[in-house]
Structure 1
């Protein structure tokens, strides 16, 4: 039994989960309603397929520990003993958070119950509660939270926590606490956030975003300034210097930029630090430019749903319609996005609904930054 609110209350009426808008056609400008409807149909279809395909008796894979959404391999031919195959899935990129976002917008309990099932696995297994001999690793993410559960990426079958932010996530745990009242979600969420207070889990670009989210979630829950200070450290001492080195770019895989777009915007909305908005806009410019380049990480990712929200942020910051138009092309592509695994569902749909803000009736860009092209309103 769940006590729930109307999607309008969760979304645009309170903004408690950010700038989300309910799945109500009347909220959006008429010329965008068709593409938004098709986009929503794809989200719902992908999530339904994920849940429907959970029982897979034909698999020839030794699925260790089938607990809720603990298993979610890339493909049925993967084998548990090969850590390079069974590594990149499960609650990676916070699948329950993506399901929660869809619940908030639609009010369909199927999304919330799915998030609860996946969130229980995230809280109980994917996060290390204690670590004999290394108590500082309490709250760390498991390094391979899928069929092998606690494997180490480079050394195979080893039970351990992971001291980087590659697999680090806790956002959905706080959200599940707010939506269900289950304090276990909050307890593990805070344990996870504390891990990022003492560890600097460097690595690829996604790590920066994961670190910022991990402590901002605790700040929004507790209002303890030390969490916000830690987020500022990650922004000022990690993200911005990285871009300074590469003239506004992160020089990393393009799809990962989408995660950092989210992180910068979350920080900006909480602090009103326009310099973070400026760096976010530079990152958006870099990913658009590099999508048609020929470097190591080029030609792939900028036009996927994981980056979509960033074009809305840049449009909101500047009023430059070039960002809106680019985002509309990506939205159209996302209506056919491949999101039928827990990993890809989270990638495509955890943040892309936030782009819809700029398509609402009466919307005007905030324009906190100067537009370079003169297209701003």
Structure 2
């Protein structure tokens, strides 16, 4: 199988899995409307998906550094889909948390191994890895549209369809990469730069807080700020996710010219201003700033994956589990605090601290140096 075909199938599978990360936030307005959940209770659902994913993701990364487990791709995809499919069927809050948590475990199991295989298939190309990351961003972007098409929580079993497609897309890739994937580890050339990786991880964490905080509440915030219709909220969430499609590709091509660290630094600086616009800009200008925020947060997305892998060349799975998986999961840990503040004050007040989060990521990138140029596609 050609490299481009493998990357295309891995990107498609990544899209199918990340539908379920995006679906958690997209389901929040339905939980609020149909079950009368408070902001704090609704954000607890996001926390359930994020908490287990955040804890489990590095553990799966460690495992994939020791053992090649390509079978995780179809199995974890199906687990993610099953969890979200069942989440809308039970009116009991505890069961909803359990099902969403299962989806989080599936997502956690998927990302480290898929990133390892993508690195192997891409031969270190920035552009190829950007396409792999873009697949996940497309899944995020499709999630609010798919959830909106359900017209109610009782139809969430239909969301199992992307999981079936993603599992099917993984099978030919596993067959093609089987000879190369038989060893437990990828290349261990080079020394681990743990201090740089830790600074990168801090940047990833604060990026995640910004992204997950906005994705959890942007639909409700847009409804409040604009005409109050669910369509206004769905559109805002769609724009937030869709901007990542172009952002990852732009980041990959820009890094080939100016370097991963410099491009990421510029993107985070822009994100500070963009998030401020989301919180404070009047009227429909909200959508413009949501798009700019999405681009600012997603330009570094694939670059952080390859930087992490280069900072930890002997532990590619661990690096992938943290930089790829935690980027879109650990921010959920801050969700209940944001929700509680929103219940006590207002959504605008609760979202205002998010303006500072990309600034922390920018500061971390100010201290990083690119460990070396990657092979261009």
Q: TM-score, normalised by structure 1?
A: 0.26
The higher relative CO (CA closer than 8 Å, separation ≥ 6) is in 2
Q: Which has the higher helix share?
A: 2
Q: TM-score, normalised by structure 2?
A: 0.26
